[in-house]
Amino acid sequence: MSTWPEDHKRIAAGALNTLQEARTLSRNAALTRLQPLRRKMQNDHPDDLTERANAWLAVCRLCVELPQSDNDELASLWEDAIKKTSDWLDAMK
């Protein structure tokens, strides 16, 4: 049985869904979706897991680079943010 509260799992699952959906949007629309996610990941449970911190940092990098990077670099950043957020969710199972 998992010891992680359901709200932690819900936040991670919601973050993963937001990343997957935002990846299909235009850059401006994606950034609009990612900025609140970045704040939520930063503010909620900042001391719980290294995986959460890694996911948050990946989302931060994505938010910084989204307006200015080329598509090849962005693909790698999207994959990194999604993988690290998935790792965060998996760490709570």
Per-residue pLDDT of the chain (93 residues; tens, 9 = 90+): 456 678 888 989 999 999 999 999 999 999 999 999 998 888 766 567 889 999 999 999 999 999 998 888 899 999 999 999 999 999 988
Number of domains in the chain: 1
Instruction: Examine residue 1 and state whether it is found in any structural domain, yes or no.
Output: no
Instruction: Examine residue 32 and state whether it is found in any structural domain, yes or no.
Output: yes
Domain hosting residue 39, numbered range: 6-91
Question: For position 1, what pLDDT does the model report?
Answer: 42
What are the residues whose beta carbons fall under 8 Å from the beta carbon of 29, sequence distance 6 or more?
22
Inter-residue contact 42 to 50 (CB < 8 Å): no
Instruction: Examine residue 73 and state whether it is found in any structural domain, yes or no.
Output: yes
pTM, full prediction: 0.89
Instruction: Examine residue 15 and state whether it is found in any structural domain, yes or no.
Output: yes
